[in-house]
Amino acid sequence: MANRPNILVTGTPGTGKTSTCELIAKAAEMTHVNIGDLVKEKGLHDGWDEDLDCYVIDEDLVVDELEDIMQQGGNIVDYHGCSFFPERWFNRVVVLQTENSILFDRLVARGYSEKKRKNNIECEIFQVILEEARSSYREDIVVAMQSDSIEDITKNVSEISEWLRNF
Ligand SMILES: Nc1ncnc2c1ncn2[C@@H]1O[C@H](COP(=O)(O)OP(=O)(O)OP(=O)(O)O)[C@@H](O)[C@H]1O
pLDDT, residue 100, reads 97
pLDDT, residue 59, reads 97
pLDDT, residue 1, reads 45
pLDDT, residue 52, reads 83
Per-residue pLDDT of the chain (167 residues; tens, 9 = 90+): 457 999 999 999 999 999 999 999 999 999 999 999 999 999 999 999 988 888 999 999 999 999 999 999 999 999 999 999 999 999 999 999 999 999 999 999 999 999 999 999 999 999 999 999 999 999 999 999 999 999 999 999 999 999 999 99
Question: Is 136 one of the annotated binding-site residues?
Answer: no
Residues with CB under 6 A from ligand 1: 11, 13-19, 36, 80, 106, 147-150, 152-153
CA 22 to chain centre: 12
Ligand 1 binding pocket mutation candidate from 18, 52, 154 (most atoms within 8 A of CB): 18
Q: Under a CB-based contact definition with an 8 Å cutoff, are residues 40 and 55 in contact?
A: yes
pLDDT, residue 3, reads 79
Domains, the chain, with CATH or none: 7-161 (3.40.50.300)
Maximal C-alpha separation, the chain: 45
pLDDT, residue 53, reads 83
Helices (H), the chain: 17-28, 35-42, 59-72, 100-109, 114-125, 128-136, 150-166
